[in-house]
Amino acid sequence: MGEFELIRNYFAAAPCAQPGEGVALGIGDDCALLSVPAGEQLAVSTDTLVAGVHFPDACDPFLLGQRALGVSASDLAAMGAKPLAFTLALTLPEVSAAWLEAFARGLNLMAQGCSLRLIGGDTTRGPLSITVTVFGTVPAGMALTRAGARPGDLLCVGGALGDGGGALPLVLNQRSSEASTTQALLARYWSPQPQLALGQALRGNATSALDISDGLLADCGHIALASGVRLLIERDRIPMSDALLGFFGRDEGLNAALSGGDDYVLAFTLPPSRLDSLTSAGLPVSVIGQVVAGQGVVLLDDLGQDVTPLTRGYQHFRETR
């Protein structure tokens, strides 16, 4: 099967690749054409997932299709952007009709759930890797960024932490348990749900935001650095799911929540006056700390003592010794 036949059979015909709002020209030409409404800006983000690094070499392609797009769409949520379209660059070691059919189904399911249109990309032969570029729109000057947090702001997250990182030993077959215990954790890993509605609701309310991909402590460090402030996280206020606590217990579960990564939950800073309007709207907002003058990120115990661990999250290219 040739490249263009592969694209036609498995991707161009998918529901998510059909014409839609904001897409003037999709798959089939040298470039796609996007229509950006007047007064809005285009938000763009690219993620690459590599077999053996970001997912196991042997995994369900249907689940992989969901995850590949979900983690990228989460970046749009972090900026408060409305999803528009995405491209897919797929490198395959071989052509397998069964693998491609399942991957395309998972990709399409996530795309439709996120209101994203597939508008193009590329396919080539080589070690399995997936590169997704997502496009969204946001009113000019309203995008959420990592800079802007101010002393006096609340530090918040958009829900329970640790499930994605907690699922990793299950994904790698390092641990096992009954399906009733592990199903929720695996779902958070393989099918992350970008907090798009929350991100858009935070426009004009949050002073800074990002999505948690490498771990709460590590990613909050990006906000602290970009904003020139210090973030104080109260250990006992960190939300964790019953599934995580039931599988790991509190101490190990807390480690996953602090530095496990793969949560794709938003972390953001918020003036106290904006909290009630968001929570009364039913949005998932959990206060876990505050912003103060200074620099860095500090984890506090119930006595207010600094208990910040050395390991803060995942880092690409970190040297191991």
The CATH number covering residue 215 comes to 3.90.650.10
pLDDT of residue 156: 98
- Asked if residue 228 and residue 131 are part of one domain, the reply reads no
pLDDT of residue 316: 45
- Asked if residue 166 and residue 125 are part of one domain, the reply reads no
Band (268; pLDDT cuts 50, 70, 90): very high
State yes or no: pLDDT of 274 exceeds 60.
yes
Number of independent structural domains in the chain: 2
- Asked if residue 104 and residue 81 are part of one domain, the reply reads yes
Higher pLDDT pick, 52 / 292: 292
Q: Are 123 and 187 in contact (CB under 8 A)?
A: no
Band (317; pLDDT cuts 50, 70, 90): very low
Single-letter amino acid code for the residue at 9: N
- Of 84, 107, 139, which marks where a domain is finished? 139
Whether 202 maps to a domain, the answer reads: yes
- Of 112, 139, 166, which marks where a domain is finished? 139
- Asked if residue 220 and residue 100 are part of one domain, the reply reads no
- Of 83, 110, 139, which marks where a domain is finished? 139
pLDDT of residue 310: 78
Q: Please report, rounded to a whole number, the percentage of residues in the chain having pLDDT higher than 70.
A: 95
- Asked if residue 175 and residue 127 are part of one domain, the reply reads no
Whether 146 maps to a domain, the answer reads: no
Q: Are 49 and 130 in contact (CB under 8 A)?
A: yes
3-state SS, the chain, equals CCHHHHHHHHHHCCHHHCCCCCEEECECECCCEECCCCCEEEEEEEEEEEECCCECCCCCHHHHHHHHHHHHHHHHHHHCCEEEEEEEEEEECCCCHHHHHHHHHHHHHHHHHHCCEEEEEEEEECCCEEEEEEEEEEECCCCCCCCCCCCCCEEEECCCCCHHHHHHHHHCCCCCCCHHHHHHHHHHHHCCCCCHHHHHHHCCCCCEEEECCCCHHHHHHHHHHHHCCEEEEEHHHCCCCHHHHHHHCHHHHHHHHHHCCCCCCEEEEECHHHHHHHHHCCCCCEEEEEEECCCEEEEECCCCCECCCCCCCCCCCCCCC
Query: What are the structure tokens assigned to 53, written together?
Result: 């690094």
State yes or no: pLDDT of 138 exceeds 50.
yes
Single-letter amino acid code for the residue at 215: G
Whether 315 maps to a domain, the answer reads: no
State yes or no: pLDDT of 315 exceeds 60.
no
Domain residue limits at 291: 154-300
- Asked if residue 264 and residue 159 are part of one domain, the reply reads yes
Spatial distance between the Cα atoms of 313 and 257, rounded to a whole number of angstroms = 10
The whole model's pTM is what? 0.92
- Asked if residue 158 and residue 296 are part of one domain, the reply reads yes
- Asked if residue 195 and residue 287 are part of one domain, the reply reads yes
C-alpha neighbours within 13 Å on the C-beta side of residue 260: 27
pLDDT of residue 219: 96
- Asked if residue 262 and residue 176 are part of one domain, the reply reads yes
Whether 287 maps to a domain, the answer reads: yes
- Asked if residue 273 and residue 211 are part of one domain, the reply reads yes
State yes or no: pLDDT of 314 exceeds 60.
no
Whether 317 maps to a domain, the answer reads: no
Whether 145 maps to a domain, the answer reads: no
State yes or no: pLDDT of 246 exceeds 60.
yes
Average pLDDT over residues 103-115: 97
pLDDT of residue 2: 66
pLDDT of residue 8: 78
- Asked if residue 169 and residue 48 are part of one domain, the reply reads no
- Asked if residue 116 and residue 47 are part of one domain, the reply reads yes
Whether 105 maps to a domain, the answer reads: yes
pLDDT in tens, 38-96: 999 999 999 999 998 888 888 999 999 999 999 999 999 999 999 999 999 999 999 89
Whether 318 maps to a domain, the answer reads: no
CATH code at 15?
A: 3.30.1330.10
Band (321; pLDDT cuts 50, 70, 90): very low
Among 303, 156, 124, 171, residue whose Cα is nearest residue 223: 156
Higher pLDDT pick, 6 / 190: 190
Q: Are 23 and 35 in contact (CB under 8 A)?
A: yes
